[in-house]
Amino acid sequence: MKKKVYIGLASDIINEAHINLFKKANKIGKLTVGLFSDKAVTEYKKLLNLSYEKRYNLISSIKYIDNIIKQNEYDYSKNLNLLKPDFVIHGNKWRGLNGLSIRKKIIQTLKKWNGKLIEVNYDHDADQKNYDIEKNILTPDNRISKLRRLMKSKDIVRVLESHNSLTGLIIEKMAINKKNKLKEFDCMWSSSLTDSATKGKPDNQSVDYSSRIRTLNDMLDVTTKPLIFDADNGGQIEHLSYLVKSLERTGVSSIIMEDKIGLKMNSLFSNQSGAKQDTPNTFAKKIKKVCKIRRSKDFLVIARIESFILGKGLKDALKRAKIYSKAGADAILIHSKEKTPKEIFQFSKMFRKTKYSIPLVAVPSTYSKVYEKDLIKNGFKIVIYANHLLRAAYPAMEFVGKKILQNSRSFEIENKIIPIKKIINLIENE
């Protein structure tokens, strides 16, 4: 009987090295490719630029591959136990923070039926080429679709505020290993509060959309992760189509609009007496408009409800959520400035029972004790840490400035700041 060979594939580029590998595997026996789902990929590295379906199409015409199945976890065990291949072929570089433990598990699993792991030499040149090509296939469309794909493949999409390219790079590159799984921020949040504060202006729309979009361009230039744009109330309905067009062209994945009118005021101010909420039906028109004018269905419109911020209560919030969902919103951000998530959890409990239920977004700035697992349990699909990088940077900069003044030199703070070399290495020289 023909031997069975298995190769796990988590790439959106097929190069010569891959083809040679498939060819070799096909000579040994019947080749099954376990194509990694988005979920499996994000367990150990960043989401790929191409969706599972696009990657499936890409490899389905390769004649050396006899069979393609989905591998839904980085851990190979499930598919290996199902298929019992004689051989697994893999490059001799094991990526990801837990790559080596995955390798060990493959060897152990294969042992059960005398199967073997074959490791082939890793091709550095091909890998570098892949990296270069990968950058080029990051079209705005590919980036736009990443948020929806993440919502499908993750328990919760973790979003962190970014106000410039450097914070974008921090979000792009930071990852930790927790319980043998990769943990990272999936997406950037372009916050009106921190973008304005970075420019020394109040969060009242004095920084106009042109300036906001310039910041977006800077961030998107050097990153590959998706971005959600805080559009305040979206501005005039007559101007929305120009805004949406610019956002889609730059590769932004989502617009969040809040249902407030008049001079904009940040929602975390305790005194909201000057702030007014739009009528639900007028605001719904803005949602409908975005749905109509967006080019990509993957460009998500998220409606932000300010009822709790303005003391209007649960009933008003639920009434609005239903109207906004009916108007075509892809998700609801239910905002709150309470110390606990009690009111947003009450909201989600009721809302999720209705036929208008759509994914929920939380911004736990004031109720920061809440764990992500509790947000997940209560039906939240996106969590936005809305201002934290700026809040971290500001006191650090003040501290250093003061210390230089006090000491009349900078030596004392050398061990509190990163070496210049590290900053240089942070930035890729293309």
Q: How far is the CB of 161 from ligand SPV (least distance, A)?
A: 6
The H or E element containing residue 4 is strand 3-9
Nearer to ligand SPV, 33 or 384 (CB): 384
Q: How far is the CB of 64 from ligand SPV (least distance, A)?
A: 50
User: Partners of 350 in the beta sheet?
Assistant: none
Nearer to ligand SPV, 230 or 298 (CB): 230
Strands (E), 259-399: 260-261, 276-277, 300-305, 331-334, 360-362, 380-385
CB 279, CB 320: distance < 8 Å: no
Indicate which of Mg ion, ligand SPV, none lies near residue 268 (CB less than 5 to 8 Å, by partner kind): ligand SPV
Nearer to Mg ion, 154 or 212 (CB): 212
Residue type, 400: V
Q: How far is the CB of 205 from Mg ion (least distance, A)?
A: 9
Indicate which of Mg ion, ligand SPV, none lies near residue 5 (CB less than 5 to 8 Å, by partner kind): none
203 is annotated as an active-site residue: yes
Q: How far is the CB of 390 from Mg ion (least distance, A)?
A: 12
192 counts as binding Mg ion under rule CB under 5 A: yes
Cα separation, 187 vs 162, in Å, equals: 9
Alpha-helical (H) ranges within 29-123 are 38-42, 52-60, 77-83, 99-111
The residue with tokens 């290996």 is: 80
How open is the CA angle 54-30-153, to the nearest 5 degrees? Answer: 30
Cα separation, 349 vs 352, in Å, equals: 6
How would you write 408-429 as a 3-class SS string? CCCHHHHHHCCCHHHHHHHCCC
Indicate which of ligand SPV, Mg ion, none lies near residue 102 (CB less than 5 to 8 Å, by partner kind): none
CB 130, CB 11: distance < 8 Å: yes
Nearer to ligand SPV, 86 or 161 (CB): 161
Q: How far is the CB of 232 from Mg ion (least distance, A)?
A: 6
Q: How far is the CB of 193 from Mg ion (least distance, A)?
A: 5
**Catalytic position from the list 12, 86, 123, 203:** 203
Q: How far is the CB of 183 from Mg ion (least distance, A)?
A: 26
- First and final C-alpha spacing in the chain: 51
Residue type, 157: V
**Interface stretch with Mg ion, choices 154-162, 191-199, 305-313, 348-356 (CB under 5 A):** 191-199
Nearer to ligand SPV, 215 or 267 (CB): 267
Nearest Cα residue to 392 out of 159, 167, 165, 229: 167
Helix/strand/coil percentages in the chain, nearest 5: 45, 20, 35
Indicate which of Mg ion, ligand SPV, none lies near residue 79 (CB less than 5 to 8 Å, by partner kind): none
How would you write 223-281 as a 3-class SS string? CCCCEEEECCCCCCHHHHHHHHHHHHHHCCCEEEEECEECCCCCCCCCCCCCCEECCHH
**Interface stretch with Mg ion, choices 2-10, 139-147, 184-192, 340-348 (CB under 5 A):** 184-192
Indicate which of Mg ion, ligand SPV, none lies near residue 387 (CB less than 5 to 8 Å, by partner kind): ligand SPV
CA atoms within 13 A on the CB side of 7: 30
Indicate which of Mg ion, ligand SPV, none lies near residue 240 (CB less than 5 to 8 Å, by partner kind): none
Q: Which residue is nearest to ligand SPV (CB)?
A: 191
Nearer to Mg ion, 79 or 192 (CB): 192
Q: How far is the CB of 336 from ligand SPV (least distance, A)?
A: 9
State the residues that interact with ligand SPV by CB under 6 A: 191-193, 230, 266-268, 363, 365, 386-387
Cα separation, 277 vs 306, in Å, equals: 7
230 counts as binding Mg ion under rule CB under 5 A: yes
Site residues (vs Mg ion, CB under 5 A): 192-193, 230
Which residues have a catalytic role annotated?
Answer: 203
